Amino acid sequence: MKPAFPDLIGNDRLRARLAEDIRSDRFGHAYILEGADGSGKHSFALRIAAALACEHRTEDGFPLPCGNCPACRKILSGNSPDVITIGRGDKVTMGVDVIREMHADVFVAPNELSDKVYIIEDAQTMTVQAQNAFLLILEEPPAYVRFLLLCDGSAPLLETVRSRAQTLRTEPIPPALLADYLARTEPAANILRNGNPEEFAEWIAASEGSVGRAKMLLDPKKRRPITDARDAARTFAELAAAHRESTRVLAFLASFGQKRDEAIARLSVMLVCIRDLILLKQTEDAPLCFFYNREEACALAYRFTAPDLLRYASGISDAMEALRRNANLRLTLMHFAMQTGLLS
């Protein structure tokens, strides 16, 4: 049997499960597909729609979707009238009017295919009123309708919505697999890999297992803030391990600048760094999110006690929460430094 969703990478178990459900006609009428921004949820959804319509979907000699039959080509190019993407446009939330408009369209039979697929992007932004309107369709949809709800997390969805749809999650792509894929498909990535291997490795680590994020960070201007935040996280870890170098600590705190959102983003990267070190205190084989050099990470983790690392993680989380509540940036950072023992 040919592989499922052959032009996607990673998520092997998820791909195999979906392919089996589609081939055996066990695919449900509604799925929640959750994962981080840039993790490929929309690409996945389009390929699910193509697999449902693929003219070769029951034949073992073909990948699923085949990508070459008329139905596949039309769906994957975004030209099928029976695969409809629903979004919130430029609004913060998805209101009830969007769902009511979809409701009216649901009961119109498919134009060309046996299934009519609705891809609902940013589903977590649906208002409660919109979700209640959606439930009217979700509870008893026409037999030909499939819903794919894409979201970065399903928690904001009502329990009544979640209970009527199977929840699937895309997983981060392993760094080595992501690196090989991007070097093969993106000329700029291959140039970076050959010309500056260390920067390439840093870029892959900053991509957090996301193809979409990796492609965005190929632009040096967009990569720079992420690189700066990762450098700051390393500086913080070194300062925390060295203990009470007050002059350097004060300079580090001053480097945060004046923008609250940027400070929260920088603290978030610091937290990922510390969490890697916490995991390494438990096992040197722990999966890492921040560090790409395991030897470097293990050597750094060795310089901390587990309680120290937990104290820093808690302090970072508290500082982020305080800033989200509009606390004073400078006072929050100083409190964090004193609370964690970074400054005595």
Reported as a single tens digit per residue, the pLDDT across 82-106 is 999 999 988 989 999 999 999 989 9
**H or E stretch covering 169:** strand 166-169
CB-based burial of residue 163 (10 Å sphere; 0-12 exposed, 13-18 middle, 19+ buried)?
Answer: exposed
Question: Do 189 and 219 touch, CB atoms closer than 8 A?
Answer: no
- Please state which architecture CATH assigns to domain 12-169: 3-Layer(aba) Sandwich (3.40)
- pLDDT tens sequence across 252-266: 999 998 899 999 999
pLDDT exceeds 90 at position 147:
yes
Helix (H/G/I), strand (E/B), else coil: 83: strand
Helix (H/G/I), strand (E/B), else coil: 49: helix
Q: How far is CA 107 from CA 28, 55, 161, in A?
A: 18, 24, 20
Residue 227 φ then ψ, to 5°: -60, -40
How far is residue 5 CA from its own chain's centroid?
19
Specify the pLDDT at position 266. Answer: 92
Right CATH number for 220-340 from 1.10.3470, 1.20.120, 1.20.272, 2.30.42?
A: 1.20.272
CB-based burial of residue 269 (10 Å sphere; 0-12 exposed, 13-18 middle, 19+ buried)?
Answer: buried
Domain spans in the chain, listed from the N-terminal domain onward: 12-169, 174-218, 220-340
Averaged pLDDT of the chain: 91
- pLDDT tens sequence across 308-321: 999 999 999 999 99
CA–CA distance, 166 with 17 (Å, rounded to integer): 12
> And the tokens for 286?
């722990």
